[in-house]
Homo-oligomer: A and B are copies of this chain.
Amino acid sequence: MTETSSVATSEGLPLSATDRTRLRRMRENGRSGRADLNAVLAAGFLCHLGVSVDGVPMVVPTVYGADADTLYLHGSVASRSLVASPEATVCVTVTHVDGLVLARSVFEHSVNYRCAMIYGVPRVVTDPEEKLEGLRLLTEQAAPGQWDYARRPNRKELAATTLLALALDEASVKISAGPPDDGEGPDAALGLWAGELPLLTGWGSPVPDPALPAGIPVPEHIAARRTT
Contacts and interface: CB of A to CB of B under 8 A. Distances in A.
Which interface residue of A106, A179, A197, A219 has the most chain B CB atoms within 10 A? A106
B211 A203 contact: no
Interface of A: 13-20, 46, 48-53, 55-63, 74, 76-77, 80, 88-93, 95, 97, 99-100, 102-107, 109, 111, 113, 115, 117, 119, 135, 139, 142-143, 146-147, 149-154, 157, 160-161, 179-180, 183-184, 187-188, 190-212, 216-219, 222, 225, 228
Contacts of A17: 60-61, 77
Contacts of A146: 102, 106, 109
Which of A60, A149, A192, A201 lies at the interface centre, i.e. has the most chain B CB atoms within 10 A of its CB? A60
A126 B56 CA distance: 25
Contact of A211 (B20, B60, B97, B179): B179
A226 to B, nearest CB: 9
Nearest to A79: B16
A102 B147 CA distance: 11
B95 A46 contact: yes
B19 A77 contact: yes
8 contacts: A56-B89, A57-B57, A59-B92, A61-B95, A193-B216, A193-B222, A200-B202, A200-B228
Given A20-B58, A50-B50, A52-B56, 12 more contacts: A16-B74, A48-B48, A57-B90, A100-B143, A105-B152, A106-B139, A106-B150, A109-B150, A191-B216, A196-B206, A199-B203, A200-B204
